[in-house]
Structure formats: C-alpha cells, structure tokens
Amino acid sequence: MPAGIALSGAAQSPFSGGVPSGPKTAGTLALALSDAIGRGLKFNLGLILGAQGTRSAEAARLQARSALLPNLSAGLSYTSEQEDLKALGFTGGFPGIPTVLGPFGIMDARAFLTQQVLNVSAIQNNRAGSYGLRAAQNSYQDARDIVVQVVASLYLAAVAGYARIDVTRAQVDTAQALYRRASDMKDAGTVAGIDVLRAQVELQAHRQRLIFYRNEFEKQKLALARVIGLPIGQAFDLADPLRFTPLPEMTVEQGVEEAYRSRFDYRAAQALVSAAEASKKAAQAERYPSLGVSANYGDIGNHPGGSHGTYTASAGLTVPIFEGGRSRGDVLQADSLLERRKSELEDLRSRIDYEIRTAFLDLRASNDQVQVARSARDLATEQLKQAQDRFSDGVANSVEVVQAQEAMATADENYIASLFAYNASKVSLARALGNAEKSSGQLLEVGAH
C-alpha cells in the first residue's frame, strides 16, 4: 500500500473509500486492472472531494476578482410621506402654508455603478486567487495519480492473494496424495504409523493455510471494491493475474528530472508559493492610495408622468494614513505564509528525489528477488519430487518428504511475495514519476503467469 494511505483504523484516508455507483449486475463481473483504475478515477471518494476543493478555489478566485470589476445594481422605491413643520422646528408657521404637509408620494427608479479604477491590493489578491486555483487544479491531478496508485496496489495485492490460494490448493492436493500413499504403505507394512501421522499433520497444516488465504483474499476484494465504488454486494473476479515484465529503461537521474517536470503536487506547491508572494504584495499594497468612481442615474417624481431624470457622479481618492498597525500585521502574516510555502516546496523537492531513488532501489532489489525466488522454487520442486520418490522406494521416511513440502511452500510464498513486491515497486515508481495515470498500461502491465 502507498505510504500514508490506511484502509482500516480510526483515521482513514478519503482515498480508501468510494461512492458505490451503477446498477448491480447479475452473475460475476470479470474485473481487469484497467477497468478497476477507470472506476477508481470516477468514484473514489478522495478524488470526488478533490474536485470539490477545485470548485472552492474557483469560488475564491471569483470573489477576489469581483473587487476589480464594476458593481452595477438597480432599485425601484416608492415613499409616502407626511411631515409636521412644527416637529421640524418651524413653530412660527408660514403664511398660506399649512403646518402639516402631505401625504405625498415620491417614486425613484435608479441604477447605481461603482468601480475600483486603481487598487493595487485588490489586483494582487486577484493574482493570488488565480495561483490558488492553479494549485487546486494541480492537486486534483495529483489526486488522480494517488487513486491509480491505491487501486493498482490493492488489485495487485488481491491478485497475489489469489495466487497464494492457487499454489496452496496444489499443496493440499500433493499432501493428500502423500497421505494416501503413506496409508497404503502402512497397510502393506512397509512404513511405520508415525509416517502416516506426519503426512496427516502436514495435510492439515496446508488446509489451514488454504482457509486463511481464502479469507484474506475475500477481504482484499472487499477493499478493492470499496475504493473503486462497485455496487454493494457485486460479485467479481480478477481478470489479470500477476506477470513479470522487464525493468523500465531509465536512470535515476532521468527519473528525478522527469518527476520535477511531471509531478502535479510539485506544480501545486510552486503555485502556492506564487499565491503567497501575491498575497504578501497585496498586504504591502494596503498602504497605497486607491482610486474609485461611483455614479447613479434614475428617474424621480411624484408619479411616472410627473418625474424627471437625475444623476450623480463622483470620483474618490483614498489615502491610508493610520490604520492601527493592521497593514503591518497583514504583511507579517503574509510573509510568514510565504516562508512556510517556500519551505514546503523545498521539502517536497527533496522528498521527490528520495522517493525516486528508493523506488529504483526497491525495483532493482525486488527484480533480483524474483530471479532468486524463481530458481528456489524450481529447486524446491525437484527436491519434493526426489523426496517423494525416495519415500515410495522405502529409502527415506516421511520426515524428508514433510521437510520438502515445507520448503516447497516457502519457495512458493517467496516467489509470490517477490513478484508482488516487484509490481508494487513499479506502481510506486509510476507515482513517484508523476505519470501513474498515463503509464498505468505500461508500468503496471499484468497478464498470465
């Protein structure tokens, strides 16, 4: 499994979950690796949440940009008034004018426009929002690579689990045949009862392993079905067994350079640094003067037939003089965030180099382990054959056969484990290079044994 991605426990990664989608099909679904990855890229929970993060970043960018765009609104009002002149201070009265005026109505239909002509802080905030959106978009693409890594790792683990069932089933058949042979030889008086007992104990041990591997395999399938959003209860089989394919023709240095060019999390970190730089400039620009204009135009009167057009237009220059240290605080906060983003970028750059180098080390080591395990399995097969022949010929007891059976079981397990580790290392390398989605059909190739 990829580092930091847990499939059980209290705090689960969203990439370990999925949204069950689609109708449950009748029968058993044959699920290929490419199909599993395709479903994961649609229904994995981590990717769905990542898409919502991109939408949030887009909303923040639109909000920042709105400060630079014209703000246009319109309103229609009607007011009915009655005024008492005495209440307003005209206690002496006016000849010919009553002290109470009205009621009379005022209708006003008006459009309002405001526009920031020059606001450096708002301009930098808009740039910060654009960089933030770019970072979110790259983070989403990086999440797609993570989904490929998670799905491929789970698929390969399940394939390895099925391979363990396959070889253990063969070991049970071999142990069953040996037990029958030992029973026949005991009945014929050529071997002691202890040899039959040893064969029976070995048979039961292989049966126990088979039960364990079957249970683990079913749990691995459940974990895979969950992360790719298969309908709940959907029966499926794995269509692609493990395969050994040659190492990719790439040096460590080429891999590191490719990762710096391709990894979306690295691009996202760079965009976050640019966003933090723009935010710092925006905070510094809070001390600069800003220029804005406002205008309104409308029709006002007692009624539509007795109204007249009126307008107001103004321009204002705002010069900050004293804000109680708010601007300085904003600058310090923005500078702190900028230094943090720079440190995170450098750490990620170092981590990318580390991940590439460790992926190549694991890939080469697991490649060698596959070769050794394959040779050991061939030797164990020959050892078991000779031990069975010697037992049948009466020149050896069942101890030698049991030891050969255990050596065969160990050799099979080592081969499956090394083959899984080799393919899992290729998954890790694809993720470290930053092109897991594109190279899944190449680096993650599976097929017949």
Give the pLDDT confidence of 36-73 residue by residue, as tens digits: 999 999 999 999 999 999 999 999 999 999 999 999 99
What DSSP element (H or E) covers 243? none
CB 159 within 8 A of CB 241: yes
Query: Within a domain: residue 97?
Result: no
| pTM higher than 0.85 | no
| In-domain check, residue 11 | no
Percent of the chain topping pLDDT 70: 94
User: Would you say residue 198 lies in a domain?
Assistant: yes
Nearest partner of 179 among 192, 160, 198, 165, judged by Cα = 198
Residue found by looking up tokens 């959106």 in the block: 133
Per residue in 140-179, pLDDT (tens digit) is 999 999 999 999 999 999 999 999 999 999 999 999 999 9
CA angle 318, 320, 321 (to 5 degrees): 130
User: CA–CA separation, 432 vs 425, rounded Å?
Assistant: 10
Q: How many beta carbons lie within 10 A of that of residue 152, not counting itself?
A: 27
pLDDT of the residue at 271: 97
Whether residue 400 has pLDDT greater than 50: yes
How buried is residue 106: exposed, middle or buried, by Cβ count under 10 Å (0-12/13-18/19+)? middle
| pLDDT surpassing 90 at residue 413 | yes
Residue 3: pLDDT band with limits 50, 70, 90: very low
Residue 314 has a pLDDT of 95
**pLDDT the model gives residue 131:** 96
Q: Looking at the predicted structure, is the pLDDT value of residue 11 above 60?
A: no
Tell me: pLDDT of 80 over 90. no
Enter the tokens of residue 423: 């393919």
Is 23 a member of any domain? no
Report pLDDT for 189.
85
- Closest C-alpha among 287, 230, 269 to residue 43: 230
Q: Is the dihedral of CA 45, 446, 422, 236 positive or negative?
A: positive
How confident is the model at residue 438, as a pLDDT? 79
Report the pLDDT averaged over residues 367-395: 92
Q: What is the mean pLDDT of residues 420-424?
A: 93
CATH number, domain of 131, equals: 1.20.1600.10
Three-point CA angle 137, 143, 146, nearest 5°: 155
In a domain, 46, yes or no: yes
Q: What is the DSSP string of 44-57?
A: BHHHHHHHHHHHHH
Q: Say what the pLDDT of residue 120 is.
A: 94
Name residues whose C-beta falls within 8 Å of residue 356's C-beta, 6 or more positions apart in sequence.
Answer: 252, 255, 256, 259, 429, 432, 433
Per-residue pLDDT band at 442 (split at 50, 70, 90): low
Inside any domain, residue 84: no
Task: Report the distance separating Cα 141 and Cα 50, nearest Å.
Answer: 9
CA 229 – CA 251 distance, rounded (Å)? 37
Q: Flag whether pLDDT at 265 surpasses 50.
A: yes
Pairwise CA distance, residues 195 & 199, whole Å:
6
Question: Does residue 347 belong to any structural domain of this protein?
Answer: yes
How many CB atoms are located within 10 Å of the residue 314 CB? Answer: 10
Q: Provide mean pLDDT across the span 99-108.
A: 83
Share of the chain above pLDDT 90, in %: 71
- pLDDT value of position 435: 80
Tell me what percent of the chain is helix, strand and coil, each rounded to the nearest 5.
65, 15, 20
User: Cβ(53)–Cβ(24) under 8 Å?
Assistant: no
Band (pLDDT 50/70/90 cuts) for residue 10 is very low
Average pLDDT over residues 230-256: 88
> Among 99-103, 214-218, 296-300, 362-366, which stretch is predicted with the lowest mean pLDDT?
99-103
Mind listing the pLDDT tens digit for each residue in 187-204? 888 888 998 999 999 999
When the pLDDT of each residue in the chain is averaged and rounded to a whole number, the result is 89
Give the chain's end-to-end CA distance (angstroms, integer): 22
Q: What is the pLDDT of residues 169-191, one digit of tens each?
A: 999 999 999 999 889 888 888 88
Contact 336, 138 (CB under 8 A): no
Q: Is the pLDDT of residue 443 over 70?
A: no
pLDDT (0 to 100) of residue 308: 85
Q: Is 217 helix (H, G, I), strand (E, B) or coil?
A: helix
What is the reported pLDDT for 393? 84
Domain coverage including residue 212? 28-73+104-436
Q: What is the mean pLDDT of residues 294-323?
A: 89
Whether the predicted pLDDT of 447 surpasses 60: no
Total domain count for the chain?
1
C-alpha distance from residue 57 to each of 50, 52, 73, 206, 239 (Å) = 11, 9, 26, 56, 40
Residue 170 lies in a domain: yes
Instruction: Quickly count: other Cβ atoms within 10 Å of residue 257's Cβ.
Output: 12
β-partners of residue 114 are 71, 294
